[in-house]
């Protein structure tokens, strides 16, 4: 379904910035960079350092095919569209910034470690086939040929040759450089405390250090986005994820592909880290790394990859996925003039960054969203539920 939204004629004259963006995660930075390319003046306000929220916690998988779940048929065209944009986005970003983002195109393998797991993996594989996705069924021995470090009890696998990865932290750093080189204004350590309003419309924002006027404010504050809309039921909540990195010998990496089991994923990075993630916990903003969470990750990794026992632990962390009511992102207006949201990306915010940047830059610069992104407006929640007020 295609939807066209026009907001251009509402832009007031004499704004300090055409667009002010709350949040310097992958979403805020990608949107800001694309808007600069459309000739608009843009400022990003980040309360810490750019990329310090969920972006820093992300594994960086671009796994539209492996991630496909029953009941997420609407999301698939969006994730595939963004995955198709990633290679060009990488080239453009690395050229603009002069920095590598460690785009690795070895594909993703989902392994089954028992006969029961094979049955469930077959179900996932059949779902991928029904969607016409190009995944390949592998026997246990074929899987171990690709990844000799896997335990012999691997009895089957699904290989997705087009599910790749980047290093999300390098992406944030490159986006910062590209954004600044393109003329963007970046305020780090600048918490936005409120949105400025006049006659019911958002006209800018306030930090502890002052107020900034803007034609449009983009709310891209991840799991914290609802805090800036008190009294408004933006359906986004934090979903905690614990993860860790092991240190591999870069000359003899323990894995080459991203490998998923039923419990975890393991993603080898170009700098020698092997990321093992991630828990999914509905615990608000509880940032603790727990013994149980880390034990579950390490034990599940050991079940698939015995050699991990010898690897040093490099880092442990938690992050908060910005998760919407239907696990899909929210793009565009929410019924408050001058305000556009770009949040709710849940477990796919890295994958969905290019399509989000396209959606929001088209909406603000051209007054409309087209393509699969047009189905992901806030209005879908108003239609399905009488619970949301829609008012400011
Ligand atoms: C453990 C884990 C693993 C993941 N792995 C993947 C993966 O492999 N692939 C994938 O596609 N996705 C993954 N994700 C999801 C992905 O990380 C998120 O969807 C994505 O980072 C969301 O980006 P964002 O910019 O919206 O939010 P964030 O990165 O959280 O950025 C929001 C920013 O807003 C700032 N902010 C908040 N409030 C304010 C304020 N008042 N004023 C100014 N700034 C403010 C924050 O400091 C933060 O920097 C993972 C998430 C987790 C937790």
Residues 68-79: tens digit of each pLDDT: 988 888 999 999
Q: pLDDT value at position 377?
A: 97
23 CA: nearest ligand 1 atom: 34
Q: Checking phi first, is residue 4 left (phi over 0); if not, alpha (psi -120 to 50) or beta?
A: beta
227 CA: nearest ligand 1 atom: 41
- The pLDDT of residue 177 is above 80: yes
Least confident span in 4-13, 19-28, 333-342 = 4-13
| Rounded distance from Cα 311 to ligand 1 centre (Å) | 28
Q: Is the CB of 32 under 6 A from ligand 1?
A: no
Residues 128-173: tens digit of each pLDDT: 999 999 999 999 999 999 999 999 999 999 999 999 999 999 999 9
For the chain, the domains span: 8-58+169-233+326-384, 105-162+237-324
Which residue puts its alpha carbon closest to atom 22 of ligand 1? 349
CATH for 105-162+237-324?
3.30.9.10
- The whole-number average pLDDT for the span 268-272 is 96
Which residue puts its alpha carbon closest to atom 15 of ligand 1? 347
- The pLDDT of residue 258 is above 60: yes
Residues 305-346: tens digit of each pLDDT: 999 999 999 999 999 999 999 999 999 999 999 999 999 999
Q: pLDDT value at position 208?
A: 85
| Rounded distance from Cα 55 to ligand 1 centre (Å) | 4
DSSP class of 308: G
Q: Is the CB of 277 under 6 A from ligand 1?
A: yes
Q: Which residues of 166-176 are buried (b: 16+ CB within 10 A; e: fewer)?
A: bbbbbbbbbbb
Q: Is the CB of 45 under 6 A from ligand 1?
A: yes
Q: Note the helical H segments in the chain.
A: 26-37, 54-57, 75-97, 115-130, 140-146, 168-181, 291-304, 353-366, 379-384
Q: Is the CB of 205 under 6 A from ligand 1?
A: no
CA distance 366 to 369: 8
CATH for 8-58+169-233+326-384?
3.50.50.60
Residues 218-244: tens digit of each pLDDT: 999 999 999 999 999 999 999 999 999
- The pLDDT of residue 387 is above 70: no
User: How many CB atoms are located within 10 Å of the residue 307 CB?
Assistant: 16
Q: Is the CB of 293 under 6 A from ligand 1?
A: no
Q: Is the CB of 319 under 6 A from ligand 1?
A: yes
| Rounded distance from Cα 160 to ligand 1 centre (Å) | 25
Determine how β-strand 273-277 pairs with β-strand 185-187.
unpaired
Q: pLDDT value at position 209?
A: 87
Secondary structure class of 206 (helix, strand, coil):
strand
- The pLDDT of residue 385 is above 80: no
- The pLDDT of residue 8 is above 60: no
- The pLDDT of residue 386 is above 60: no
Residue 391's pLDDT band (boundaries 50, 70, 90)? Answer: very low
- Do residues 272 and 262 make contact, with C-beta atoms less than 8 angstroms apart? no
């Amino acid at each position: 379904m295609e939807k066209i939204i026009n907001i251009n004629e509402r832009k007031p004259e004499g704004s300090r910035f055409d667009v002010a963006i709350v949040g310097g995660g992958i979403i805020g930075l990608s949107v800001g960079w694309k808007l600069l390319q459309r000739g608009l003046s843009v400022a990003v306000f980040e309360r810490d350092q750019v990329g310090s929220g969920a972006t820093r916690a992300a594994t960086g998988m671009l796994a539209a095919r492996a991630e496909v779940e029953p009941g997420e048929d609407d999301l698939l065209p969006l994730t595939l569209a963004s995955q198709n944009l990633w290679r060009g986005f990488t080239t453009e970003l690395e050229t603009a910034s002069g920095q590598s983002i460690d785009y690795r195109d070895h594909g993703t393998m989902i392994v089954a470690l028992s006969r029961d797991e094979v049955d469930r993996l077959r179900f996932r594989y059949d779902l991928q086939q029904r969607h016409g996705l190009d995944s390949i069924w592998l026997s246990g021995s074929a899987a171990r040929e690709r990844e000799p470090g896997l335990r012999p009890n691997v009895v089957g696998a699904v290989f997705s040759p087009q599910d790749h990865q980047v290093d999300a932290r390098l992406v944030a750093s490159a986006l910062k450089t590209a954004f600044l080189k393109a003329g963007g204004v970046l305020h780090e350590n600048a918490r936005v405390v409120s949105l400025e309003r006049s006659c019911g419309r958002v006209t800018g924002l306030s930090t502890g250090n002052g107020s900034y006027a803007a034609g449009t404010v983009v709310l891209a504050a991840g799991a914290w986005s609802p805090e800036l809309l008190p009294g408004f039921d933006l359906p986004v909540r934090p979903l905690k994820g614990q993860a860790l990195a092991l240190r591999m010998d870069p000359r003899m990496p323990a894995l080459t592909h991203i490998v998923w089991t039923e419990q975890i994923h393991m993603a080898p990075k170009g700098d020698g880290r092997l990321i093992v993630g991630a828990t999914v916990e509905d615990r608000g903003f509880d940032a603790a790394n727990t013994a149980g969470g880390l034990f579950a990750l390490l034990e599940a990794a050991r079940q698939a990859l015995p050699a991990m026992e010898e690897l040093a632990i490099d880092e442990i962390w938690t992050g908060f996925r910005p998760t919407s009511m239907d696990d899909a992102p929210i793009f565009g207006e929410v019924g408050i003039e001058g305000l556009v949201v770009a949040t709710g990306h849940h477990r796919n915010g890295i994958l969905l960054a290019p399509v989000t940047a396209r959606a929001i830059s088209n909406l603000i610069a051209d007054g409309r969203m087209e393509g699969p992104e047009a189905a992901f407006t806030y209005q879908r929640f108003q239609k399905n539920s009488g619970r949301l007020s829609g008012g400011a």
